[in-house]
Chain A
Amino acid sequence: MVMMPLPAVVRWLFTLLLLVPVWGADPPPRVTASLQTVATGVQVRLSIQDGWHLYWQQPGDSGLAPRLAWTLPPGWSAGAPRFPVPTRHVEADLVTFIHEGDLVLEVPLTPGPPSPGGVVAVRVDYLVCRESCLPGKVTAELPLTATGTLPAPGIPWPHTAPVDPAQAGITVTARGVGNDLLVTVQGQNLPTPPSHPVMPAVEGQFALLPPQVVQATATTWELRLTRSAGVAEPTRFSGLITGLGTTTVAVDVALGAMPAPAAETGGWLAAAAAGLLGGLILNLMPCVLPVLALKVLAFGKAREAGQGVVGPALTYTAGILTTWLTLGLVLLALRAAGLSVNWGYQLQEPLVVLALLVLFLALSLNLAGVFEIGLAATRVGGGRSGPFFNGVLTTIVATPCGAPFASVALAYAVGAPAAEALAVFAALGLGLAAPVLVLALIPGAARIIPRPGPWMEDLKRLLAIPLLAATGWMVWTYLALAGGPTSFVVLVGLLPLVILAAGAWGRFQIQGGRAALALTLAAVLGVFGLAAWTATQAAPSAASGHQEGPWEPWSQAREDALRTSGTPFFIDATAAWCLTCQVNKRTTLHQEAVAAAFARRGVVCLRADYTARDSAIAALLTRHGRASVPTYVLVDGKGRSSLLPDLLTPTIVLDALTPIPEKSP
């Protein structure tokens, strides 16, 4: 026994060696359970061997949470167990939430009538895993005191409980967009988030593998969760937010609320202020300026004729406000109907675009002097409804023109509660009406308008040019949206009709003037030229999937792949109906210096075309707190994104690109 023959020792060692891998793969893991009283109820401690793990309440893509079954004295009850913060664990593309070492669960316990000689007992069914898993059961008992009550609380076993958002000084909101859940975390001095800060508390609801961070700053994290296939739309979001430093925050919120602005009441006021400013600037946009000019000129005439201007100015304002609020209400109704809509929704309908096109054409013909729009619409002192419809018209022609600040305000309004959204819409309308209101309400202000004279007619004709350009642009938008030869035929048939009608009306009005005829012919030629040119321009962009140089179409899958591989990328969210977008393309994005700067850094250029409604792009915009295009997002190799301004210059883009290192050749 003491001396083993050498071959036997070798054989024994060899056998031991053979056994080791077997033990390594599958030792019987010992799980023990214990119970103790704490101030809030009881603690259940499950102790497991090193290298093995148990699962969180939501185990993830595999595994199983421990289940507790209580045996209690009559009249006593136990609540749901509270789990400590788990660890995210990824193995073979399966994400699980696990607990290693001791797992301490806290269970609220409501004692009933004293039960001398009674016990509180728990049976835990668990699945313990390493590479493979083993199910098991373990029990623990807590004898009651001689008087039949719970023993005095002991020193609590360590339990890293998550805290409330308020305790951590953050606010968390969540809303559903299409298949995504967008979670917004707001606070002060937020650290750089890990790639997956969210641990959803409900099993099977979300894909756990895709990266979650959309963008992160020191005050806001925008996080995204994608719903698993075949799972119903959630109404609440509950889960943990990790990566906030030493604390983990437990969240349980109803969906639908827009990220609460940092300063509770300041948010919508700021948006309304931006709307006011945006509305004001909107007056200078090429769509609106001619119409506004008409209005101002009409003031001159009214003053000359000794008529009052305050009443008509107020009616004009009412017209503008009514139209903005109507557009706002329609947007809210669409949103309530569950459609993911953003600003510009009205321009995604080919018929609306066609109507605007006709309107622009008719207005430009009017300015060019082809005909007079019924005197009421431009004359201040005329019918009571005249200025009102002038206000309606001003708003309608303004819709395709974006303006700085207006888009910021709209982005807020699109997601805000109804009352606040309407306030922002109203602010935009007030801003748009402001120049006319100021001229009318401030005594003497109207005096700055030069005296009427023949120059007014020349100015009107000059103003026809930007409107005619706007008509051409709407033609292009229509073709890009409706596409195909049919829409072209529609245009070829419709445009001359509009012009002929205008011309005929004009002849009727001025009793056969030769000048009107000549202008009509010029307009016909001009519109045909534009239509022919836009048709050739629009056809390839609509058909070829927008392969313009290095630009490739944006898709969520492509973006995810680029994020995963750490490739920097730039998103140009654009639409044919967005004039600012076209300007930015021409002046900046398609400039050689800018393209070269993208190429040198290996920045992949993605284009998200929002010309037609697209829920994925709507979600993309919302994630970046935007309601419409243009939206420019630059994401560096570490997944940090920055939003570029609406009006781009090459310098802005080149500066934004500077922090991204150039690739070595």
Chain B
Amino acid sequence: MIRSLIATLALTAALVAADPVAPGTAAPAFTLPSATGSAVSLASLTGKTVVLEWTNYDCPFVKKFYVGGAMPALQAKWTAQGVVWLSINSSAPGKQGHLTGNALTSRIAAEKAVPSHFLVDSDGTVGKAYGATTTPQMVVIDGKGTVVYHGAIDSIRSTDAADVAKATNYVDAALTELAAGKPVTTPQTKSYGCGVKY
């Protein structure tokens, strides 16, 4: 009995780690420390549209969206409209992209990033709960706490900042449709990027 229970739990955990949280399902709750030291919980953001951006400033696929300022522009555009933008880094301590304290705040400033909060997920719990496998990887959650988009930032898999303008930005499209009260046309894509450094 207990063994089968453990097996079931292990299986569930394995499935949770392997499968991205599907659109239409409830966004797993979490509370994470932010770069400025405060704690941010998803539950406190009910009623607001929330964007989760898995990021790692040292990853070339992430750099693609920061060198030309595409990601900060998108963050500024949507936070101005009341969307809560949470950049999350799930790198384990000692792995690429793991930053804390002053090193982190100065890096955020250097990248000209303007998310609502930058959250530090050092043990990777939240990343694994959402099935985040790459950076960047994007999740859009509506005001009711339902995942409405999960996947890539845009349609062109590359590290070349010149491709950003040519690509379809899935997150911008999802947020636009959500703001207009329409269903999201493309609720799920396959994300691309560097592996999350769990």
Contact = CB atoms under 8 A, between A and B. Distances in A.
Interface of A: 25, 61-62, 64, 67, 91-94, 125, 127, 131-135, 203-204, 209, 228-231, 557-558, 561
B171 interface: no
A93 B17 contact: yes
Contact of A132 (B58, B133, B160, B193): B58
Interface string B162-198: 0000000000000000000000000111101111111
Contact of B157 (A64, A92, A132, A231): A64
Nearest to B59: A133
Nearest to A25: B96
Nearest to B187: A230
Contacts of A203: 157, 190
Given A209-B18, A229-B20, A230-B190, 6 more contacts: A91-B195, A92-B195, A94-B134, A203-B190, A204-B192, A229-B188
B159 interface: yes
A91 B196 CA distance: 10
Contacts of A62: 133-134, 192-195
Contacts of A557: 11, 15
Interface string B115-156: 000000000000000000110000000000000000100000
A127 B157 CA distance: 12
B10 to A, nearest CB: 8
Contacts of B14: 561
Interface string B99-125: 000000000000000000000000000
Contact of A127 (B17, B22, B58, B159): B159
A93 B189 contact: no
B158 interface: yes
Contacts of B190: 203-204, 228, 230-231
20 contacts: A61-B133, A61-B195, A62-B133, A64-B158, A92-B198, A93-B18, A93-B133, A94-B134, A127-B60, A132-B59, A133-B59, A135-B60, A204-B190, A229-B19, A229-B20, A229-B22, A230-B190, A231-B190, A561-B11, A561-B14
Contacts of B159: 64, 127, 135
A135 B63 CA distance: 10
A130 to B, nearest CB: 11
Nearest to A210: B18
Given A62-B195, A91-B195, A230 B188 contact: yes
List the 4 shortest-distance A-B pairs measured between CB atoms, nearest first.
A230-B188, A204-B190, A135-B159, A135-B60
Given A64-B157, A93-B133, A557-B15, A230 B198 contact: no
A229 B151 CA distance: 10
A93 B187 CA distance: 24
Identify which of A61, A131, A229 gathers the most chain B CB atoms within 10 Å of its CB: A229
Contacts of B58: 132
A474 B108 CA distance: 70
A622 to B, nearest CB: 24
Nearest to B159: A135
Contacts of B61: 64
A133 B198 contact: no
Contacts of A127: 60, 159
Contacts of A229: 19-20, 22, 188
Contacts of A67: 158
A203 B191 CA distance: 11
